[in-house]
Amino acid sequence: MADCLFCKIVAGEIPSTKIYEDEYVYAFADIAPQAPFHAIVIPKEHICCANKITSENSFLIGKVFEAIQKIAELENLEDGYRVVNNCGEKAGQTVFHIHFHLLARRDLGWPPG
């Protein structure tokens, strides 16, 4: 998608600090981390938000969660991490390429704010 920040990151047109990459998924360090470990994990293919997951593209969300398991192992996060998806402006979504915040290495309160 021409005007999408995260598509540009996947294409290498905007720099990012890569944490993980495979055929379907890219993960990079969040520019404004909310925890000592804060990655953004995305499908390389553009999907705007959780509300636009379909039977055709839902396998990509499975790939995202497979990647999260690998990142957790590589980064030694297995004692606990949180995955957050904001869907829609009212939920705090600011970048409209579906993404999953992977947060770890601090105590994460519940319920979230």
Footprint of ligand AMP (CB under 6 A): 5, 14, 16, 28, 30-32, 40, 86, 92-95
Backbone angles phi, psi at 65, to 5 degrees: -75, -30
Specify the 3-state DSSP secondary structure of 40. Answer: strand
Alpha-carbon span 104 to 65, nearest angstrom: 15
Contact pattern from residue 25 through residue 64 relative to Zn ion, giving x for each residue in contact according to CB under 5 A and a dash for the rest: ---------------------x------------------
- Note whether 45 and 10 are within 8 A (CB): no
Closest CB 34 distance from ligand AMP, rounded Å: 7
Just list the catalytic residues.
99
Question: Using CB under 5 A as the criterion, which residues of the chain lie in contact with Zn ion when the complex forms?
Answer: 1, 4, 6-7, 46, 97
